[in-house]
A and B are shown apart, each in its own frame.
Chain A
Amino acid sequence: MPDTLPPDSVGLVTPQSLHFDTPLQLDCGRTLPQYDFVYETYGKLNPEHSNAVLICHALSGDHHAAGYHSMADRKPGWWETCIGPGKPIDTDRYFVVCPNNLGGCKGSTGPTSTNPANGKKYGPDFPIVTVKDWVRSQATLADAMGIEQWAAVIGGSLGGMQSIQWAIDYPDRVRHAVVIAAAPRLSAQNIAFNELARQAIMSDPDFHAGQYYDHGVIPRRGLMLARMLGHITYLSDDVMRSKFGRELREGKLNFGFDVEFQVESYLRYQGLSFVEHFDANTYLLMTKALDYFDPASEFDNDLAVAFRQARAEFLVISFTSDWRFSTARSREIVKALLEGGKHITYAKVSADQGHDAFLLPIPYYLDVFSSYMKREVTT
């Protein structure tokens, strides 16, 4: 952590929380009798409440999108690149809200929370939540904060899917939907990767059918494998080659199964550090939310029809080396919006960093994003 905070950072931030007693009806048919939201905000809400922006996080993200929790923090929030004074999501102009989604493990109600019905942790009993559920719950948070309409709902990857869902489900409450490195629904290949991640977790002997809290263990190996797999899909072949190549840690082959190549070392490190701060049941839930996301399914599988009621203006951004959600997937979204004559801007960013590119400071990406966000006059 730097001794002084960078001037373009929102600086020190403190998470807040709100408790909701009104039951939340979920797509799976079950109801959450009560729930908590943990969230962070940056910038100031203007008197008209017209400058609020919602940030939706992706699979392993959380409410800590920008700034530092303490001067001892090694790293800032996950989207420090894009949120802060003078950045694309300019906190001098916007009031930024980023909640941890329900089913998460960073403070909002999820598998690690206590089930009021029996006083025990929900664990695997936590209902499977969908992107639609998240959007519905985020709307209750907006209500509680006095935000009638978001200036923009913004997200990358699974977060971008929430932007799409917001524009469809609450047409009057979203002025701009920013959809970055997303897809209108998962492909069979995407689902296959998710299934592999789930199988890795569920076949870990320490998983105990999701009741591992009772056994005082975590399915470390499974979760680590799931994360390693995820990381492969976040990077491109090119970036792996330039980052690791075939470089050997000890400069020679050892003819064994310990870590030899740098890429192995990287993946193991990513996997190991992840298991210490992420819950396996949450990981399972998040992958299911991804698999189920399919807004067109309610509209005869016609995405253009799904968007018919949307009134938001759209910014769609994709990255050329992203193979998890390729540019072709973003073009599906663009095509559907064009068909409906919606306001849409689409930028295809040349970048070799793969899916992860949406988190990185790529000049053209930040330029387009900033220029678009400046169009919305709020102050």
Chain B
Amino acid sequence: MALRADLDIISGWITPGSRVLDLGCGDGALLAYLQDNRRVTGYGLEIDDANIVKCVQAGVNVIQTDLDAGLSDFQADAFDYVVMTQTLQAIYYPHRLLNEMLRIGREGIVTFPNFGHYQARIQIGLGGHMPISKSLPNEWYDTPNIHLCTVKDFERLCQQQNIHILQRNVVDHAHKTSLGMRLLPNLLGEIALYRFERKR
């Protein structure tokens, strides 16, 4: 089975043999792939019943929990990487969670839909309505996304929180990148992927 494109990019960032915690791990595809191909060990955290069953079937160690309840069950520096894909924008306190990620992990990896993408800007600026796109498919009244942000917003938050960005990748909804996206990430990127660590 082919790995989802964003997970494919992330798995390339992860050193073989490391310990990984996947926050909001969904059906466990990333961890299952990393276990099989990169000798990675670790856990997924997930809240949805159907996803838990899929994780169990995929042979992934999964803990059923609400990320908003925090990560206090995990000790400091327990993991090499703490990963969170397409979940940051659905969290009550994203900044707290980012700091928690770097408490329990050496490095953090997040991906989120970029609200600064030009189509979103056109829809809200000219259309006057909340944007709907392939990476932001939900109506405003029925969405898990409560803290949408742009590439610029995220990088400013990292600055404030003393977080050092190690790697950034900006892609479209098919997870392809282009020269344009690299030059104007906040305008042309639909999905942003970051790898970061605590500033030393």
Residues of A within 8 A of B (CB): 331, 334-335, 338-339, 341, 343-348, 350, 364, 367-368, 371-372, 374-375
Contacts and interface: CB of A to CB of B under 8 A. Distances in A.
Query: Which of B41, B55, B61 gathers the greatest number of chain A CB atoms within 10 Å?
Result: B61
A364 B57 contact: no
Contacts of A344: 43, 61, 63
Q: Which size class do B's interface residues fall under? A: 10 to 19
A368 B63 contact: no
Given A347-B52, A368-B53, A341 B41 contact: yes
B56 interface: yes
A343 B57 contact: no
B62 A346 contact: yes
A368 B73 contact: no
B32 to A, nearest CB: 12
Given A345-B61, A348-B65, A331 B56 contact: no
14 contacts: A338-B78, A339-B75, A341-B19, A344-B63, A345-B55, A345-B61, A345-B62, A346-B62, A346-B64, A347-B64, A348-B65, A367-B53, A371-B53, A371-B56
Interface of B: 19, 41, 43, 49, 52-53, 55-57, 59, 61-65, 73-75, 78
B52 A368 contact: yes
A345 B73 contact: no
Given A331-B73, A344-B43, A338 B63 contact: yes
B61 A343 contact: yes
Summarize B's interface: helix, strand, loop or mixed: mixed
A350 B47 CA distance: 11
B64 A372 contact: no
A344 B49 CA distance: 16
A221 B19 CA distance: 57
B49 A375 contact: no
Contacts of B56: 345, 368, 371-372, 375
B53 A334 contact: no
Given A345-B62, A364-B49, A368-B52, A338 B57 contact: no
A284 B63 CA distance: 36
A111 to B, nearest CB: 41
